[in-house]
Amino acid sequence: MSDPTRSGAASAIPGVRWGAVARHADERGSFRELWRAGWFADQAGRGAPEPPFVQANLSTSAAGVLRGLHLHRRQLDFWVVAAGRALVALVDARPLLEGTGARPIVETREIAADATVTIPAGVAHGFLALEPLQLAYFVTAEYDASDELGFAWDDALAAVPWPSVADTPDGRPILSGRDRANPPLATLVERLLAG
């Protein structure tokens, strides 16, 4: 099987890797290898292996649902689109969290079934389901509420160019209560640097 963490498109954000898993299909259906430990032997790029994945999740979203922007300081994510299509937004908050004040790098990409993205700690992430979506994601830390951070999906500093949602009356995405209540990015960074 090819390694989707090494064969994908380049990213402007250090540590982010875009790729795709191979789908093997015949008249019976298909098979996809979603994860292999060897793909992540040296994700840090410094000779030290990343911790192993310890939890796997499957998110299902209706078209028009936006999840994010979420941030983890102690967790690497590896996403695989099982079905559907999404616009993924990544915001590199690491320069802000290091106190440099540099503007975050923002990258968006439309991805579909079999696409992958590796997201290092400190890079905020979110997605807008462009059609019904199933997203499998593997993480290097078990759920920990103290590392479940987030900031407003429409934050002016991040300025993610989210498209309008055709199926809602106001063109805005469908959000969870948590994501509606997320603070601005600058407020989140202030809290984290103060704490």
* Full-model pTM: 0.86
Q: What is the pLDDT of residues 45-78, one digit of tens each?
A: 444 455 688 899 999 999 999 999 999 999 999 9
Q: What is the pLDDT of residues 4-23, one digit of tens each?
A: 555 567 888 999 989 887 77
Q: What CATH code is assigned to 17-194?
A: 2.60.120.10
Q: How many CB atoms sit inside 10 A of residue 157's CB?
A: 16
Share of the chain above pLDDT 90, in %: 66
CB 114 within 8 Å of CB 31: no
CB 71 within 8 Å of CB 188: yes
Smallest CA-to-CA distance from 137 within 64, 70, 47, 184 is with 70
